Amino acid sequence: MIAQTSAPQATDIRSEQSADDAKIEALLEHAFGPGRFAKVSERVREFAEFRPDMSFCAWEGDRLVGSVRMWRIRIGDTPAIFLGPLAVEADQRKYGAGGVLVSRACAAAAAAGFPLVLLVGDLPYFSRFGFSNDPTAAVRLPGPVDQRRVLAWGATAPLAGPVTA
C-alpha cells in the first residue's frame, strides 16, 4: 500500500508587511543561500523601487512558507515590474503556493497599471503562468545573464532596451 501525502492546512496569502522582513530574509537565505547576492536579479533590486503593495507572503498559521517580491523598473522607455525573488519552503512546493504567489503578484501589478512583468527564471515553470522569453531577446539586464531565462508576462510586442529604475 502506498501512503497518501496529505495536503497541509490552508495557506493564507497576505500582502507583505515590514514586520515580515526577518522571516522573508531567513526564507531567502534557506532557499538560495548567499550566492543569491551575485545574481543579475540582485543588481536590478539594488536600483529598482520596491513595491510592497504588489508583494505577497504565504503563511501556514504563523509559519512563513513562501514569498514573492515586486520592483518597479523600466525596459527602455516602457514601465514594468520586476518579479523576484520567489521562494517557497521545500516541503510546501508541491502544494502550489509558488503559483498562487506569482498569479497574485502579476494580478496586483496589472491592477496597479503595470501590465508588464519581467523576471529571470526557468521557462518550464513560469510559462504555465503566461511568461515567455519570445519578447525579451533585446532586453538588457545590468550584468551577465542567460537571455533564454529572461521572461516577460503581459508583453504585447517585443521588448528592447536596458532595464533601469
pLDDT tens for 116-154 read 999 999 999 999 999 999 999 999 999 999 999 999 999
| Residue 3 placed within a domain | no
pLDDT in tens, 85-117: 999 999 988 899 999 999 999 999 999 999 999
- Given a cut of 70, is residue 1 above it in pLDDT? no
Decide if 91 is inside a domain.
yes
Structural domain count of the chain: 1
State the Cα–Cα distance between residues 41 and 121, nearest whole angstrom: 10
Q: Is the dihedral of CA 144, 137, 42, 13 positive or negative?
A: negative
Whether 145 is covered by a domain: the verdict is yes
Decide if 27 is inside a domain.
Answer: yes
The answer to whether position 7 is within a domain reads: no
In angstroms, how far apart are the furthest CA atoms of the chain?
A: 59
What is the phi/psi pair of residue 114, to 5°? -120, 85
Domain membership of residue 145 as a residue range: 13-164
Distance, in Å, from the CA atom of 126 to the CA atom of 117, rounded to the nearest integer, reads 12
> Is 4 within the bounds of a domain?
no
Is pTM beyond 0.85? Reply is yes
DSSP summary character for residue 65? E
What does the block give as the cell for 89? 519552503
Record the cell numbers describing residue 120, joined without a space. 529571470
CA nearest neighbour of 142 among 40, 74, 36: 40
Q: Give the mean pLDDT of 11-18.
A: 94
What pLDDT score does 31 carry? 87
Query: What is residue 141's three-state secondary structure?
Result: coil
Q: Is 5 a domain residue?
A: no
> What per-residue confidence (pLDDT) applies to 10?
55
Q: Cis before residue 79, ω within 30 degrees of 0?
A: no
CATH label of the domain that carries residue 121: 3.40.630.30
Is 19 a domain residue? yes
Model pLDDT, residue 35:
76
Mean pLDDT, the chain, rounded, equals 92
- 22-80 pLDDT per residue, tens: 999 999 998 888 778 778 999 999 999 999 999 999 999 999 999 999 999 999 999 99
Count the neighbouring beta carbons within 10 Å of the beta carbon of residue 30: 11
